[in-house]
Amino acid sequence: MTSAPLEGLVLRYGGLYGPGASQEMVTMVRRRRVPIIGAGTGVWSFLHITDAAGATVAAVERGAPGLYNVADDEPAPVAQWLPALAAAAGAKPPLRLPLWLGRLAAGDAAVSMMTQVRGASNAKAKRELSWKPAWPTWRDGFRDWV
């Protein structure tokens, strides 16, 4: 007996933010507990929570099996988005830590997130799901959210 290959639909979301999501991050940023480690070259992708819901509906209604990155249009390095989040939250700019101190304080995983991760392209989700984010950039989304 042969079985059919397994197929599925996978949505890989950017970092979620918005009402009811990530309030803890804003609190930590306001308390200056999220530093920029090293040069802050890790590139993150973000997604407003309402855009996550819209992409999910689009995927269920018209998505072909496969993997879709669901994020806004502007992946950004930590050195850009973290100070912008702090400003939107009315906080002082984030502290900066050298790599060695960041590794001691937060561990290898945090150093990797702050210096090495790479953002995701949403091109396939936009093209194949006929979806586009209502918040195309974290810049506007952060200001509205916080």
Whether residue 3 is contained in a domain is answered as no
Task: List the structure tokens of 61.
Answer: 């209604």
**Angle between helical axes of 23-30 and 78-88 (0-180°, round to 10):** 90
Is 97 part of a structural domain of the chain?
yes
Cα–Cα distances in angstroms (integers) from residue 61 to residues 19, 20, 83, 125, in the given order: 25, 25, 38, 13
Domain count within the chain:
1
Are 73 and 133 in contact, with CB atoms under 8 Å apart? yes
144: its two tokens = 């509205």
Q: Is position 94 within any domain? A: yes
The string of pLDDT tens digits covering residues 39-61 is 999 999 999 999 999 999 999 99
Residue 48 lies in a domain: yes
Q: CATH number of the domain that 90 lies in?
A: 3.40.50.720
Taking a C-beta distance cutoff of 8 angstroms, is the pair 58, 132 a contact? no
Please enumerate in sequence order all residues whose Cβ is within 8 A of that of 127, keeping only pairs 6 or more positions apart, or say none: none
The string of pLDDT tens digits covering residues 119-135 is: 999 999 999 999 999 99
**Is position 2 within any domain?**
no
146, part of any domain:
no
pLDDT at 72 over 80: yes
Q: Is 4 domain-assigned?
A: no
**Domain extent at residue 24:** 10-139
Q: Is residue 122 part of a domain?
A: yes
User: For residue 80, what pLDDT is reported?
Assistant: 98
78 within 8 A of 111, measured Cβ to Cβ: no
Tokens of 14: 């950017």
Q: What percent of the chain has pLDDT over 90?
A: 89
The mean pLDDT value of the chain amounts to 95
